[in-house]
Structure 1
Amino acid sequence: MLRLKFLLILLYSCGLQWCIGQTVKVMSYNIHHGADREETDRLHEMGSFIKNSGADIIALQEVDSVCTRTKGVDQMKILAAITGMHYAFVRHYAYQGGAYGMGILSRYPILNIRNKRLTLLKGTKSSSTAMIVADIVISKSKKVIMASAHFALDDSSRWVQAQEVVDYLRQEKMPVIFVGDLNAKPEAPEINYLKKYFVDTDTGNVFTFPAPRAERKIDYIFVKKSNLKRVKNYRVFINDLSDHLPVMADISLK
């Protein structure tokens, strides 16, 4: 009996969920600078949707920070206020008096925010774009790395970017979750390359773009192979708030 009590106390003190496998609800959402396909401002509706979705960590692509086209608002700050979450932002490049880039919302504290630059080979305003990478502090003894990218439209850049992502993330000791709008269908070479190192949490190749009647899958949630215990649930939310559909996976980590 004493041994049993000791074991229960030990499990509780180290965080019971992490001892038996933690489930984290992760979302990837291209918010199209807070606008729908008709360029109508839907940012506050997006915030309410995210809050009600139950997601723990949300990676956002196409985020504006004090840009003229979005009336000079800090979109991540607004979404954080609506959801009550921690937030982070990194820029792709300066845009219309502010910045255009990538964000993360999280129920858990966010530390060590990095802006890993990914190569762009053609048709761009600059020679690189951002991959946001951050440590998410789930508990005192457990962190995960959240990384999110928005791959280029051209095949050659995407192939280089996929290799850069793998090279950067594969050596990490902490569990790694990689998500984003990768602008590539599941059969693309760059996606197959990523699958050598990561598990795609969607096994059904559910379409995500364009919203609301999607015709192809280009949005992904990946987990590093050595870190994944199982995917408990994967879903694509059907709405018209952006030009992309948000995707979410319930991930059980080792």
Structure 2
Amino acid sequence: MKQYFQFSGTLFMICISAMTAIGQAAPKTLKVMTYNIHHGNPPAKPGVIDLQGIAEVINNQTPDLVALQELDVLTKRGEQVDQVKKLASLTGMHSYFSKGIDFDGGEYGVAILSRFKINHAERFPLPAQEGLAAEARSLAVINVTLANGQSVDFACTHLDLKNEHRMLQVAAINKVLGARKGTVILAGDFNLTADNPAMAVLEQHFTRSCTENCAPTIPEVNPTKEIDFIFLKKQSPLKVLSHQVLENIYASDHLPVVVSYLIP
């Protein structure tokens, strides 16, 4: 399947060039990225915050929507910079931050960047198993309108490391997004692999952008596990054109995932 996505993406670009050459309008696409940025700290550079490096990874792909995880907002560790606003400035995109926890004099959580104006945004706290230690997690959801007038809900999350919490969290995500109509895209660091029982719960409502022979996303050097995903809600009108895990990217301990969709 990985080879199929790569081939289909190449074929699609050839088709676009051919259609442009004969004066026909090229098909419309939507490009989505998910990236756990490790609070802007490249693992090879302990203590160094390099948001410019993260921004370059994003800008090189020119995505329309970006789900980001592990961002510091005004923390001492993050040099008291609002990383969400800084990345929005460096990429020229709109932004929305969803706090997970208070941390080191500031806040820490997930964020979304969007080329489109954000119509509205929502934050949903995610549950944890009572009596078991957990770090608070959340689901961020924005709504945007594409150039063709189509409405899209785009969601970002970062699930817990413990399966007891994750099972509750994926059920909560399904409750929030499962009944929504139209196009819904869910992306993030799910801290689980495709064979985890929590994945089967998510797949009651969502389909992964890659389902066979998918490249791993962590660690950034010699990656071994796929835990970063982009999902499309079932019955959404978009179609996957290509799925790619970017290789040789060392700005974080995760590799970015980029998916292009065909807009009907």
Task: Give the TM-score normalised by structure 2.
Answer: 0.84
Q: Which among 25, 44, 53 is matched to residue 45 of structure 1?
A: 53
Give a deviation string over 1:54-107, Cα, whole Å, max 9, x none: 211001000110001011001111111111111111111211111101111111
Q: How many residues align?
A: 235
For 1:114, the aligned partner's letter is: E
Report the counterpart of residue 246 of structure 2 in structure 1: 237
| 5+ residue gaps, structure 2 | 1-23
For 1:106, the aligned partner's letter is: S
Deviation at 1:24, TM superposition (A): 0.7
Give a deviation string over 1:20-41, Cα, whole Å, max 9, x none: 9742100000001011224332
Partners of 1:130 and 1:183 lie apart in 2 by 14
Give a deviation string over 1:191-245, Cα, whole Å, max 9, x none: 1221221110012321001113211000000000100442101101121110000
Report the counterpart of residue 173 of structure 1 in structure 2: 181
For 1:213, the aligned partner's letter is: N
Report the counterpart of residue 36 of structure 2 in structure 1: 30
Native 8 Å contact 2:183 2:238 kept in 1: no
Tell me: CA distance 1:33–1:141, structure 2 relative to 1, closer, same or farther (3 Å). same
C-alpha RMSD of matched pairs (Å): 1.8
| 5+ residue gaps, structure 1 | 1-15
Q: Which among 111, 117, 124 is matched to residue 125 of structure 2?
A: 117
Partners of 2:28 and 2:170 lie apart in 1 by 28
For 2:239, the aligned partner's letter is: R
Partners of 2:143 and 2:102 lie apart in 1 by 25
Report the counterpart of residue 257 of structure 2 in structure 1: 247
Native 8 Å contact 1:108 1:138 kept in 2: yes
Report the counterpart of residue 83 of structure 1 in structure 2: 91
Give a deviation string over 1:118-145, Cα, whole Å, max 9, x none: 11223224xx421111102223722200
SS at match of 1:139: coil
Runs of 4+ in 1 over 6 A off after TM superposition: none
Task: Give the TM-score normalised by structure 1.
Answer: 0.87
Partners of 1:134 and 1:24 lie apart in 2 by 15
For 2:68, the aligned partner's letter is: L
Native 8 Å contact 1:211 1:244 kept in 2: yes
Native 8 Å contact 1:212 1:245 kept in 2: no
Native 8 Å contact 1:44 1:82 kept in 2: yes
Native 8 Å contact 1:149 1:182 kept in 2: yes
Q: 1:1-254 counterparts in 2 under 5 A?
A: 22-38=28-44, 39=46, 40-121=48-129, 122-125=132-135, 128-139=136-147, 141-203=149-211, 204-238=213-247, 239-254=249-264
Partners of 2:106 and 2:119 lie apart in 1 by 23
SS at match of 1:48: helix
Native 8 Å contact 1:227 1:253 kept in 2: no
Deviation at 1:154, TM superposition (A): 0.5
For 1:109, the aligned partner's letter is: K
Native 8 Å contact 2:182 2:237 kept in 1: no
